[in-house]
Amino acid sequence: MKFVAHAVSFTIFLGLLVVNASDRFEGVKNLPNETITDHPRQVFRVKTTQFSWTEMLIMKWVLGMIWSECKEIWSDGPREYVMHLWNVLDFGMLSIFVASFTARFMAFLKASKAQQYVDMHVPDEDLSNASLPDEVAYFTYARNKWRPSDPQIISEGLYAIAVVLSFSRIAYILPANESFGPLQISLGRTVKDIFKFMVIFIMVFVAFMIGMFNLYSYYLGAKYNPAFTTVEESFKTLFWSIFGLSEVISVVLKYDHEFIENIGYVLYGVYNVTMVVVLLNMLIAMINSSYQEIEKMPMW
């Protein structure tokens, strides 16, 4: 009964996460418009940093789950608590939620202070015509002018990660179902195989990443795209190449240096054959083998 109650409660929590995002679904409108201010003297960021009713409910659920985790740590002890993967996942998920809401609250406080300054020192009826200090004017700007380190941007990024972790928590319930149980158990069993595979994967990936960077780092600005000209671009190009999202033009130069291009073609081709044809198919075979073993087990 306790398991059922926990499952129902968590399902409602996931429903709240969906409802909170539904305002941005096409054709759906269940929250106030946050793209315009309520009146000409309102600071724009005061409107965007306010917590909606769904976010308030989500925070209450998060506080309840934190209390539940605290009781579990108290009863089982910290050492026993961290021995279970689901507890670590819960702790990480709740910590990220707390960090997200904290950053959002900081953004709201700063916007509120800007609004107080406007109410006390700005006589103009329309802020678009008012002369404001830079630290106050910043909170009237649209999103395209926000700083990368803005607390609200950080809050939204952390919230997205927390939502993904929240939905992954469904896997805790799946073993109770005879159809999905073997699949979830198989996924857990293959984690160790995946970690073993990742050792070889990372070795091959790093080898080609450094090699391609050494080859093309001298040609920054002399290529049709920036692939392989920096370590970051080398990583992105090789990573997305695994999924077929990188182009062959990545190795082409604007200069007439055919020797470099030919080496680039060969290395890029060998990389794709090694990673996609050999290693990825090896991983698929390992996962398939683990799943078949789970299905043959009388109890899982």
Q: What is the pLDDT of residues 234-275, one digit of tens each?
A: 999 999 998 888 888 888 888 888 898 899 999 999 999 998
Are 80 and 229 within one domain? no
Which pLDDT does position 178 carry in this prediction?
A: 54
Chosen domain end from 172, 189, 207: 172
Residue 207's identity, in one-letter code, is: A
Are 150 and 17 within one domain? yes
* 173/147: higher pLDDT: 147
Are 78 and 96 within one domain? yes
Q: Buried (b) or exposed (e) across 79-90, using 16+ Cβ within 10 A?
A: eebeeeeebebb
Chosen domain end from 126, 147, 172: 172
- Is it the case that residue 180 has pLDDT exceeding 70? no
Which pLDDT does position 172 carry in this prediction?
A: 66
Question: Can you tell me the distance from the alpha carbon of 42 to that of 167, in angstroms, rounded to the nearest whole number?
Answer: 37
Are 168 and 223 within one domain? no
- Rg (alpha carbons) of the chain, rounded to whole number: 26
Question: Can you tell me the distance from the alpha carbon of 87 to that of 275, in angstroms, rounded to the nearest whole number?
Answer: 34
Which pLDDT does position 175 carry in this prediction?
A: 59
Q: Mean pLDDT in the chain?
A: 81
Compute the average pLDDT of residues 45-60: 86
Are 161 and 185 within one domain? no
Are 252 and 126 within one domain? no
When divided into structural domains, the chain yields a total of: 2
Could you give the percent of the chain with pLDDT greater than 90? 25
Which pLDDT does position 61 carry in this prediction?
A: 92
Question: Can you tell me the distance from the alpha carbon of 230 to that of 237, in angstroms, rounded to the nearest whole number?
Answer: 10
289 token code pair: 């083998």
Which pLDDT does position 226 carry in this prediction?
A: 85
Enumerate residues 6+ apart whose C-beta is below 8 A from 154: 103
Are 243 and 143 within one domain? no
Closest CA to 47 of 112, 136, 132: 112
Are 271 and 137 within one domain? no
Inter-residue contact 229 to 219 (CB < 8 Å): yes
- Is it the case that residue 176 has pLDDT exceeding 60? no
Q: Which domain holds residue 227?
A: 181-296
* 11/180: higher pLDDT: 11
In angstroms, the Cα distances linking 107 to 102, 130, 150, 152 are 9, 22, 8, 6
Give residue 129's pLDDT band: very low, low, confident or very high (50, 70, 90): low
Which pLDDT does position 84 carry in this prediction?
A: 79
Are 102 and 63 within one domain? yes
- Is it the case that residue 295 has pLDDT exceeding 80? no
* 294/36: higher pLDDT: 294
pLDDT tens string 207-237: 999 999 999 988 888 888 888 888 999 999 9
Q: Is 76 exposed, middle or buried (0-12, 13-18, 19+ CB in 10 A)?
A: middle
Are 161 and 118 within one domain? yes
Q: Is 49 exposed, middle or buried (0-12, 13-18, 19+ CB in 10 A)?
A: buried
* 241/120: higher pLDDT: 241
Are 10 and 106 within one domain? yes
Question: Can you tell me the distance from the alpha carbon of 291 to that of 222, in angstroms, rounded to the nearest whole number?
Answer: 49
- Token match 């950080």: residue? 154
Give residue 162's pLDDT band: very low, low, confident or very high (50, 70, 90): very high
Compute the average pLDDT of residues 105-132: 76
Are 24 and 165 within one domain? yes
**CA pseudo-torsion sign 224, 228, 234, 239:** positive
Give residue 25's pLDDT band: very low, low, confident or very high (50, 70, 90): low
Chosen domain end from 148, 172, 196: 172
